Structure 1
């Protein structure tokens, strides 16, 4: 894949004004819907009212990773630039699904995909010295009150078949 040589991770971090994210990588919120959904219409997994939708830019570089975490809403991922992003999803029943977010669809990559609410997921760029710039849309909107960062020991106990990838993608 040929990349625009003027667009590297530092270019995107600077021009999109990205900041460090607690799970790894860099991000910036780009959208928060004005429409609020009251708690009465949301599942019990939400801890209060939520904006109808939110969006972010998210940048990840080789050697870093987005640690296993889960949220209370579905999260749609959109590929923008760089190399494919590998997203590891552990569904509530324990099934591990490995997604490739990218634009080379003939290689099984997808330019957008959805991680279901309640799944544990983590991601990394697996191309040496590569990076990826993606977007994430969450509906109902993201709130850190609904964010849970995975604990390595607890996840390995719950999903022993996936202990290796959990060890690699937790802090």
Structure 2
């Protein structure tokens, strides 16, 4: 879903490395926040067992969040692998509305406090935000299998029942809706 740079996120960052990455990687604003570009879509197809039509076996994007941006609460009907490439560490939350199970992972360079990749299981709500250090951005790769399709993507409605539940149970994360 290409979106012109004048849409959603609007202006290029004033951080030189962020601006360079947006231009060099040809990133576009993403509806959930941040910047992205699909870099791979498998020509092989698979049939999901949940009734969806055939999907590419795998898709991959670059995904960049500036220090002031976040990935809004959303869910995808396929498993998604997040891989930290460079920049700030990133807080990634997953939430199962049915069980109220909230989990948090910090993606970043390998250390005792961070992991370089994490898998978000299909159907879980997810949101992310850079930790806000001096780099001013977090660059990630996200792979989805079966491959990503916008018809499998749902953003949390800011005044919907899930957003109200998040606000009650985890008020500090309500602003990510």
TM-score by length of 2: 0.83
Unaligned runs of 5+ in 2: 1-14
Distance (Å, rounded) in 1 between the aligned partners of 2:132 and 2:163: 26
Matched, 1:157 2:164: yes
Q: What is the SS of the residue equivalent to 1:155?
A: helix
Moved over 6 A (4+): none
Matched, 1:94 2:103: no
> Which segment drifts farther, 49-58 or 85-94?
85-94
Count of aligned residue pairs for this structure pair: 159
Matched, 1:124 2:129: yes
Q: What is the SS of the residue equivalent to 1:10?
A: helix
Is the CA contact (8 Å cut-off) linking 2:88 and 2:133 kept in structure 1?
A: no
TM-score by length of 1: 0.86
Is the CA contact (8 Å cut-off) linking 1:156 and 1:163 kept in structure 2?
A: no
Unaligned runs of 5+ in 1: 1-5
Is the CA contact (8 Å cut-off) linking 1:89 and 1:98 kept in structure 2?
A: yes
Give 1:142's aligned residue. Answer: 148
Q: CA deviation at 1:109?
A: 0.5
Q: CA deviation at 1:128?
A: 4.7
1:92-132 Cα shifts (integer Å, max 9, x gaps): 421111110101422x2100110111110111112156201
